[in-house]
Each structure stands twice: as C-alpha cells, then as structure tokens.
Structure 1
Amino acid sequence: MNIPNMLTMSRFLLIPLFLALYFYDNKIAALFIVLLAGLTDVLDGYIARRNGQITLTGMMLDPLADKLMMLAVIIALLAGGELPWEAFGVMAFREVGMIMTSAYFHFTGYKTLPANNLGKVTTVVYYLAILLLFLEAQGGMAVLWFGIGLSYVASFVYLVKFRILNRAS
C-alpha cells in the first residue's frame, strides 16, 4: 500500500474519532479532525499525482472517504441542531447517490473518472461552510447552500463526462 492510499485510509479512521469528539461536546477538537481529514485529502492527491502513484484503489477509496466524512459531518450538525433538515436532505441525497452510482459503475465494469475541478472547488466551499458553522460565524449557511448548488452542478458535469467516456469505449 502506497502513502497516498494510507492517507486515504486514515480518513476512514478519522470518521469515528470526529463523531466521538463532536457528540462528547468537543466541537473544536472535532473541527480540527475534519480539517485534518481535508488536509489528508489534499496531500494524498498531490503525492499520488507527483509520484505517479495513482491507483484504481485510490480512485475508488478517496471519494468514498470524502463522502463518508461529509455524511458524518452533516449528520452531526443535524443532530446538534446546527443544520436544517432541508440542507441535510439535499446533501445526503447527493452524497449517498454518488456513492451508490459510483459503486454500481465500478462493479458493472464501466470506466470511472477522477473528481473534476468543480468537484474540488465544491469540497473547498464545503470545508469553508463547515468551519463557519462550527465557529457559529455569520454566513455559514449561505456558504453551505452555495456549496450544495455547486455539488449538484459538479455531479451533472461528472455524469456527462462519464457518459461520453463510456460511450466512446
């Protein structure tokens, strides 16, 4: 297992740690765990590209780790009363939908694509929204709704590119 894949795997381990810290009222420590997960996401992609260590395993596990962490965060924020049901619903629908769609495509033999640039921008916007929400700063919900909109546009772009890729092969 290479370093990028180990960094990706570490994000799976950070999810229960985040949840434990959040639900035992250590929200600032929980926020640091989320930010650490974001840092490992940036690092694993950078190292994999720089060292030519991009693997099929990494291409599958990296977005899964990201989506599961995001689900954990929005579930925690919903349970903590910091996220409205509407935002939770549209975010969860997209995250679960992308996980299920990616798994279906992978296991039925379709070629998959790495995250597109709009998806990466969406992730940055989500992390900014999470930071603002955890710190109870102004604008957190507005940034979150902007990120939600971007996430749906990014998903649409991904699906169009996926369809073109698999139609050509």
Structure 2
Amino acid sequence: MGLSQELRSVPNLLSLLRLLLVPVFLWLLLADYLIWALVILALAGASDWLDGVIARKFNQVTELGKVLDPAADRLYIFATLIGLTINGNIPLWLAVVIIARDVMLLLVYPMLATHGYGPLPVHFLGKAGTFALLYALPLLLMADIWPDADFVILPLAWAFAYWGIALYWVAGFIYVNQVRKLLSK
C-alpha cells in the first residue's frame, strides 16, 4: 500500500484529525475553556480507540498508522502535561517524570535508525502505561472543572497517574533493552 493510499485509510484519517486537534486542545486548555478542552480530549481518546478497532477489524493496519497513532497519543499527553502544569493543576515533577521517559527514548531511537532499524513494535506495557496516563490526565482536568467532586476524582486520577508512570518507565526500559540487544548483534 502506497503512502497516499495509507493516508486515505479511515484509521489514519482519524489519527491525522487527532493530530490537528492537539493545538486546538492546548489553546482551549490554556485559555481556560476547560470543558471544551475536556470534550476535545474525550473525542481524541474515543477516536484513538476507534481507529484501532477499525484498523484491526478491516485489516487497515499500516506502517504510517504505526507512527501516527502513538505520535498523536504522545502529543496529547505532552499538551495536557504542559497545559495542566502551566495552569497549576499538576506539580511540575509529574510532567518532568513523564516527559523524561520519552526524552530517554528519543536519544535511543536514532541509534536504531543509523543501524537500519525502524521503530520498535509497541510493547503491551507501553500501551498500558499510555492508557493509564490517558485516563489520569483527563481526570486531573475534571478535578479542576468540578472541584466539589475532588474527593472522588483525585484519588482515581492519581492512581491512574502513578500506575501510568510506573508502566511507562518499565516499558521504556524494555525498549532500551531491546535496542541494546539489536545493536549488539
């Protein structure tokens, strides 16, 4: 399947739409249109799930999709971390710990490319960590929108955040180990 054909697949179009909405989401978040930001974030999460279902069910898994989908996930995580940190909803350490893992991988991936390897397959722990973070961050935003429900929302949000961080880092070390093994062949 050629690149233009891959771009026209429904899952990839959904991923592209998600990518295009990242700056809109961040602007809404920073401009204090929190409910609209939450709506965009929820739609992005739903379309992330939907594009995966469609890709698998209709055999539309593509190399482009394997790059676009996680890129959209990362950008929403980064945008949410940036917005919630600037707005004072989350402590800076949370953003630093999550972003540091991706910086670690950014330093490792060029080594793969220089040896002729593409991106590593996504590990289920990485998916689980991303899943947990994609629940934690909207919940942290919801706590700001509905402060009277903090007693319910915040424990859930922080539970997902801590699990997400742990799984995210474990998966990161697995990826680094995979790179080390590949390059030592």
TM-score by length of 2: 0.79
* Partner residue of 1:10 out of 17, 20, 33: 17
Deviates more, 1:51-60 or 1:65-74: 51-60
* Partner residue of 1:157 out of 170, 174, 177: 174
Q: How far apart, CA to CA, are the structure 2 residues paired with 1:39 and 1:159? A: 30
Change (3 A) 1:34 1:80: same
The letter for the 2-side match of 1:138 is L
1:146 aligns with 2:153: no
Change (3 A) 1:50 1:110: same
The letter for the 1-side match of 2:177 is V
Indicate the residue corresponding to 2:87 in structure 1. Answer: 80
C-alpha deviations, 1:131-159, integer Å up to 9, x for none? 32112122123431221111001122233
1:98 aligns with 2:105: yes
CA RMSD of aligned residues (A): 2.2
- Please say if residues 101 and 169 of structure 2, whose CA atoms lie closer than 8 Å, have aligned partners that are also in contact: yes
Matches within 5 A, 1:106-117: 106=113, 109-117=116-124
The letter for the 2-side match of 1:59 is K
Q: How far apart, CA to CA, are the structure 2 residues paired with 1:109 and 1:61? A: 20
Q: How far apart, CA to CA, are the structure 1 residues paired with 2:80 and 2:114? A: 27
Q: Which has the larger radius of gyration?
A: 2
- Please say if residues 111 and 165 of structure 1, whose CA atoms lie closer than 8 Å, have aligned partners that are also in contact: no
Q: How far apart, CA to CA, are the structure 2 residues paired with 1:107 and 1:29? A: 42
Deviates more, 1:49-58 or 1:4-13: 49-58
Change (3 A) 1:31 1:151: same
C-alpha deviations, 1:92-133, integer Å up to 9, x for none? 112333345446534652043332221221122112211321
Indicate the residue corresponding to 2:129 in structure 1. Answer: 122
The letter for the 2-side match of 1:145 is Y
TM-score by length of 1: 0.85
Number of matched pairs: 168
Indicate the residue corresponding to 2:146 in structure 1. Answer: none
The alpha carbon displacement at 1:166 in A equals 6.5
Q: Percent identity?
A: 38
Matches within 5 A, 1:24-103: 24-99=31-106, 101-102=108-109
